[in-house]
A and B are shown apart, each in its own frame.
Chain A
Amino acid sequence: MHPGIIFFLVILGSILFHIFTPWYWTDVASNWGGMDDTITLTFWIGGGVFVAVCLFMVYCVFKFSYKENRKAEYKPEDKKLEKILTWATTLGVVALLAPGLVIWNNYVNVPKNALEVDVMAWQWGWQYRLPGKDGKLGTTQVVNVNDDNPFGINLDDPYGKDDVMIQSDVLNLENNVPVKILLRSVDVLHNWYVPQFRAKMDAVPGIVTFYWFEPNKTGEFEVLCVEYCGVGHYAMRGGVIVQETQEYNKWLDQQEVFSDLIAKQEKMEVEKTKLVKK
């Protein structure tokens, strides 16, 4: 069999695989459908180039296989052809880059009304904090973190007192409300990723990083850590539950607030001192 036939079948197989694949992306559940569209566009342009180049190669292999009495063409350069190909490629690259940059511009500019969520990561788990009635998160420091202050909130920061603390790896979100995820880590790199939301960013110890999205489908989703963080990396999962406003508010009301925790601890202190006095 002529080797060209096998190469042709490889190309054909690739196309068919792409058309009939049962493995493809999950339904998008956030505002980042544009990323899917850019991928599709890249598939058309890039895939087109791949198929064209390979088919041309296969054609040459068939047409110009070695014959004793034939001589190859002698043509070191073709300036015109090279110029055309350069510009055509540049055009294709611009067509791919432009939409990519537009979406990136959206990605780095967070809407003003986005709800800020503090996502705190460690080896190997997650917990979350939401701003209280004042709408602002209190500042934090790694050295403050202890059993009495699981998020390391600065005690002299008035904004921190009413922060809602979710000491669970499952976070509830309100449907159709943009969320600004503020990531921090107390030890190593992590990354809070929900495949259906498409968006991701590393959590880096020492700094606070961010990204945003707007969930637009209710339901439960799995959170994966996607930045290698040591031997428990693959088991570092969490969850997100996207709810309609009413249910979300009901859930929110049941969550503990930082001042409650402080009060509880103060009460315990007082009772302890009472016991000691007795």
Chain B
Amino acid sequence: MSEDYNDNKTIHAQSSETMGGGSAGVTPDMDYVRPAEIADQDLYHGHSFITKWIFCQDAKVIGVQYFLLATFTGVVGLILSWLMRLQLGFPGAAGFVTAEHYYQFVTMHGMIMVVYFLTALFLGGFGNYLIPLMVGARDMVFPYLNMVSFWSFFVAVAVLMASFFVPGGPTGAGWTLYPPQTILEGTPGSGAGILLMCLSLILFVAGFTMGGLNYLITVLQARTRGMTLMRMPLTVWGIFTATVLAMLAFPALLVGALMMSLDKVLGTSFFMPTILKAGEVLEYGGGSPILFQHLFWFFGHPEVYIVALPAFGIISDLISVHARKNIFGYRMMVWAIVGIGALSFFVWAHHMYVSGMNPWFGFFFATTTLIIAVPTAMKVYNWILTLWRGNIRMNTVMLWCLGFIVTFVNGGITGIFLGNVSVDVPLSDTYFVVAHFHMVMGIAPLMVIMGAIYHWFPLVAGRFLSEKLGKWHFWLTFLGAYSIYFPMHYLGFIGVPRRYYEMYDSPYVTSAVGMNEFISLAAFLVGAAQFILIYNIIKTLKTGKPAGKNPWKANSLEWLTPTVPPEHGNWGDRLPVVHRWPYDFSVPGAKDDYITQTTPPSEVSNTGVEKT
């Protein structure tokens, strides 16, 4: 493909060459696309309410189902964060937030937000909705399996939520679930709570594997004619690569959860050394707590990129469409996504510099971690270079994109502090870490999700979300979240440890009291601002401005379906045929400032379009 790209042959020459050995005398067909190799997919069309909307096999409906359920867990996570901030900002103000409850809230908030909210939303939600549409397929290749995937996720969420109601409550082991404390008394929810957590994770991974296989094979096998890999929107590249990571990383979590359950239930000692508890030696021995940490972070670090890569992809498309300019350095962007994905498997122990593993690992993991900064920085440069000399629509979608750039760069830079082994030593386990990962994998991906909602809502529902409400929503969220997490880094510099229920009266943290109050107030505000979106969606569904076809004047296939919103099967009678990449914006000589992917070369033969 790269060769095709490099030689600047004219489109004519290229096309006649593609005809390859065609009989002489035939006029070279510049719009030629090779014929389809496999027959059109047969789809199961549901007719009853249940098969259409509940046990549904349409990837778009499954995407919306994933989206709604993930959002529900997200709201639970948000409420938990309010309760935590209530205790941190105003200790004792809510009497029911005891230390036990506080640690349970911390744990459930973390696990819900990372796995059940962000991962499910990006891959299950956006992945299901967008992949088939963007690559020009009728549906995912295994629609039934796709349905089972969602319902496994549903059961996983149900099991997780059930843990709130069992004796002892949900696990309070911290989202990292480090043994031995996770399964010992002295940690809240060390009985039924942790077992339900492990079971829920196992169900999640199983369900996710079904969905993940679908995404991968759909991208690899079900792309429409002309949709080469290097013509795919970056959104698809991001979700595709993240899914590859998930397929390789989640098994480590599965194994960890399984072995921990065995330690708890059968008394095995995978992670349990000899332990003295309340003056008695427990019947464990010989296990290694650090082994669990390796398994956990072998999953946990790629997990960061499982969230980040789809966000990278989506933001690239949003910026390009709304800056009316091709994404700068598309091939670099693709290779950066793939490269970051590959490297993400070689950096996990940077979460463990002070874990007690052999300290010589520090040299290796610091080096690999800082190497990742290079492709990541290239992506940032390419986003801002896409804005450069663009024609930027300052709408709500673009605001979320700009908010993403600010928060992501901020969080990326603090990542360099933490990745650089000896700089990590004073900062690890402090609020600097909390501020860093919330900025980079909480707020930044959230900005992308919000941008994506405002961008694709007109496709999903056929109506524009209110711009006015959208702007309020953005500014409250962005300014609020930034004023939560930017100052929080400085608590970490003082040395305030994370996972402290309260600070008592340590002499050097008295100055943190005022800041904690401020952060809590900002957190309440940001959380409340999210309900503007919910109101906006409800209002728009009733009275929103109809969007019509391709309202943003985008190029990619999802906007080019015969009906809006797209129906089951997506494409009517004929699958679309692709002639170009999705970034032909503002091509010199073209009538409009965009050329859709389905526009054949003969229609724009007078333009200065580069062959892609």
Identify the A interface with B (CB < 8 A). 2-3, 6-7, 10-11, 14, 17, 21-26, 32, 34-36, 38-39, 42, 46-47, 49-50, 53-54, 56-57, 60-61, 64-67, 70-78, 81-82, 85-86, 89-90, 93, 96-97, 100-101, 103-105, 107-108, 122-123, 142-143, 145-146, 183, 186-189, 191, 193, 195-196, 198-207, 209, 211, 222, 224-235, 237
Contacts and interface: CB of A to CB of B under 8 A. Distances in A.
Contacts of A227: 178, 429
Given A39-B423, A123-B186, A204-B290, A23 B428 contact: no
B381 interface: yes
A205 B502 contact: no
Contact of B187 (A3, A21, A231): A231
Given A26-B495, A53-B380, A222-B507, A78 B329 contact: yes
A188 B499 contact: no
A25 B497 CA distance: 13
A23 B402 contact: no
B508 A76 contact: no
B276 A145 contact: yes
B258 interface: no
Contacts of A122: 276
8 contacts: A47-B413, A50-B410, A104-B421, A146-B279, A193-B429, A207-B273, A232-B99, A233-B501
B48 interface: no
Contacts of B331: 77
B281 interface: yes
A183 B354 CA distance: 12
Nearest to B362: A104
A14 B413 CA distance: 14
Given A6-B475, A234-B500, A234-B502, A25 B493 contact: yes
Contacts of B330: 76-77
B357 to A, nearest CB: 9
B545 interface: no
Interface residues on B, range: 35 or more
A143 B274 contact: yes
Contacts of B406: 7, 10-11, 54, 57
Contacts of A77: 328-332
Determine chain A's interface SS by DSSP, over half rule.
mixed
Interface in B340-366: 354-356, 359-360, 362-363, 366
Among B173, B374, B588, the one with the most A-chain Cβ atoms within 10 Å of its Cβ is B374
B422 A23 contact: no
A42 B362 contact: no
Contacts of A191: 354, 429
B583 interface: yes
B149 to A, nearest CB: 33
B423 A38 contact: yes
B528 interface: no
A46 B490 CA distance: 16
A202 B354 contact: yes
A235 B506 CA distance: 11
